[in-house]
Amino acid sequence: MRAWFQILLCAALLFLCVSCEISQESPAPAVVIAGTPGIGDGNEYIRDTDFEPGTINPTPTEGTPTPSATETPTEGITEETSEETSEETTEENNPETEPEATGDATGAADTIQPFEPEEPSGETEFASGNTLPATVQDPYPSGYQTVPGLENLSNEKMGWYYNRNSEHQPPTAQRVFDIRDYGGYYLGDIENKIVYLTFDEGYENGFTGPILDTLRDKNVPAAFFLTQTYIRDNPALCMRMAAEGHVAANHSVTHPSMPDKTDEDIRYELTETARYYQEVTGYRMAPFFRPPAGEYSARTMALTQANGYKTVFWSFAYEDWLVDKQPGKDEAYNRVMDNLHNGAIILLHAVSESNAQALPDIIDSIRAQGYAFGTLYELP
């Protein structure tokens, strides 16, 4: 009997010992608070999606590794969430997304949707009777190229000039260096009766629409040199230029004196204008550049060429940009006709009311003298 009692007592003691060990090994249930680090191995973070990306709340305890202030913990966040956050940031931080139209002479709607131009096919016949393969109708400036010996080129600032004559002969121009060495032009085809109409566009004064109407009605190609601010403020007119077959060319972002700019600044002035034009219109900008105010140097022309552009000056221009000092229709007409010559690159400012009024008669008289209108893509 006594032996049985001892056996039962030992069993009871053994049971109590086992129960005690189990109790010591079982911790209380964990409570996880969103945003609190220290879960698992100390490198995982549970982030409340209401927190701003890149922040962790509350402050982690000492000794716990934390991401930097600019990092967003990605563990446990789906790829879809990450893409959505990136897309929202892009739209909010990019002021050039969906630029608003501010109105222009065409009376277009306020919201402008980019064109979806079709791929060109076949050949296009120009007014001069020449044809160009479709592959060169929509060229795009090549990537930035280094210029060997750039440090040896002069950056002396020069202003473009030419020497008029009264014999209707191609004029001479500056002879400090040959601009053709750097893809420069001020004359076109001087062997034939071809002229090239070009317009500079820095801001809109209400006459680009009527100018485009005249060019359309007379079936005349032209080139428009556009600044970025002009593109921003007049997207419908810029799209119309391209849609009606004109050359939309580069006139820089900020209209600076190019020799005053660094190499990178010059690259920005060229590439950003082209990028923005394509973003707004859906068309690629033509690879022609006109230096603001006609100011240039051997260095800036070499850099312009390295960025895939031809520099286009002029063999005729006059003081037509002063909107409060317009010469009148007849004077504008006479200025152009008195300086007509083979290969003339004619520079007119589209802000001029006199130019807009005289343009129909100018076109008719140029043709009556046996000239044809060429495009910058036909420059020799």
For residue 195, is it within any domain?
A: yes
For residue 26, is it within any domain?
A: no
Contact (CB, 8 A) for 289 and 270: yes
Say if residue 60 is exposed, middle or buried (CB neighbours under 10 Å; 0-12, 13-18, 19+).
middle
Q: Dump pLDDT digits (tens) for 345-356.
A: 999 999 999 999
Least confident of 61-75, 183-197, 314-328: 61-75
- Average pLDDT of span 122-138: 40
Least confident of 25-29, 288-292, 322-326: 25-29
Q: At residue 373, does pLDDT exceed 80?
A: yes
- Domain identity same for 188 and 250: yes
| pLDDT for the residue 152 | 87
Domain boundary, last residue among 94, 110, 142: 94
For residue 12, is it within any domain?
A: no
Domain boundary, last residue among 76, 94, 112: 94
Q: Number of helices and strands (H, E) in the chain?
A: 9, 14
- Domain identity same for 43 and 161: no
Q: Dump pLDDT digits (tens) for 139-170.
A: 344 455 567 778 889 999 999 999 999 999 99
Contact (CB, 8 A) for 287 and 139: yes
| Local confidence band at 175 (pLDDT 50, 70, 90 cut-offs) | confident
The CATH number of the domain holding residue 157 is 3.20.20.370
* Residue with the larger pLDDT of the pair 93 and 157: 157
- Domain identity same for 46 and 181: no
Look at the chain and count its residues: 380
Domains contained in the chain, number: 2
- Percent of the chain with pLDDT strictly greater than 70: 62
DSSP 307-339: TT-EEE--SB--S---TTS---HHHHHHHHHHT
| pLDDT for the residue 34 | 32
For residue 265, is it within any domain?
A: yes
- Domain identity same for 370 and 227: yes
Within 13 A of 218's CA, how many CA atoms are on the CB side?
21
Cα angle, residue 93 at apex, residues 88 and 96 outer, rounded to 5° = 110
- Domain identity same for 50 and 183: no
| pLDDT for the residue 209 | 98
| Local confidence band at 327 (pLDDT 50, 70, 90 cut-offs) | very high
Residue in the structure block whose two tokens are 């006199």: 354
| Local confidence band at 275 (pLDDT 50, 70, 90 cut-offs) | very high
Q: Dump pLDDT digits (tens) for 20-32.
A: 554 444 444 333 3
- Domain identity same for 182 and 275: yes
- Domain hosting 38: range is 34-94
- Domain identity same for 76 and 135: no
| pLDDT for the residue 365 | 98
| Local confidence band at 14 (pLDDT 50, 70, 90 cut-offs) | low
Q: At residue 326, does pLDDT exceed 90?
A: yes
Q: Dump pLDDT digits (tens) for 203-253.
A: 999 999 999 999 999 999 999 999 999 999 999 999 999 999 999 999 999
| pLDDT for the residue 232 | 97
| pLDDT for the residue 315 | 97
User: What is the spatial distance between Cα 222 and Cα 212, in angstroms, rounded to a whole number?
Assistant: 9
For residue 182, is it within any domain?
A: yes
Contact (CB, 8 A) for 160 and 173: yes
User: What is the spatial distance between Cα 298 and Cα 150, in angstroms, rounded to a whole number?
Assistant: 9
* Residue with the larger pLDDT of the pair 99 and 200: 200
Closest by CA position to 267, among listed 299, 295, 294, 242: 299
- Domain identity same for 66 and 147: no
Q: Dump pLDDT digits (tens) for 75-90.
A: 332 333 333 333 333 3
Residue 371 CB partners (closer than 8 Å, separation 6+):
193, 194, 195, 340
CB-based contacts of 140-145 (< 8 A; 24+ apart in sequence): 140/274, 140/284, 140/285, 140/287, 140/308, 141/270, 141/271, 141/274, 141/285, 141/287, 141/307, 141/308, 141/309, 142/307, 142/308, 143/308, 144/267, 144/271, 144/306, 144/307, 145/306, 145/307
- Domain identity same for 251 and 319: yes
- Average pLDDT of span 360-372: 98
Q: At residue 184, does pLDDT exceed 80?
A: yes
Active-site residues: which are they?
Answer: 200, 349
Neighbours of 229 (CB within 10 A): 18
Contact (CB, 8 A) for 295 and 258: yes
Range list of H helices, 97-254 = 208-218, 228-233, 235-243
Beta bridge partners of 44: 39
Neighbours of 88 (CB within 10 A): 11
- Domain identity same for 175 and 214: yes
- Domain identity same for 206 and 61: no
- Domain identity same for 79 and 128: no
| pLDDT for the residue 99 | 35
For residue 99, is it within any domain?
A: no
Contact (CB, 8 A) for 368 and 198: no
For residue 316, is it within any domain?
A: yes
| pLDDT for the residue 1 | 56
For residue 7, is it within any domain?
A: no
What single letter denotes the amino acid at residue 329?
Answer: K
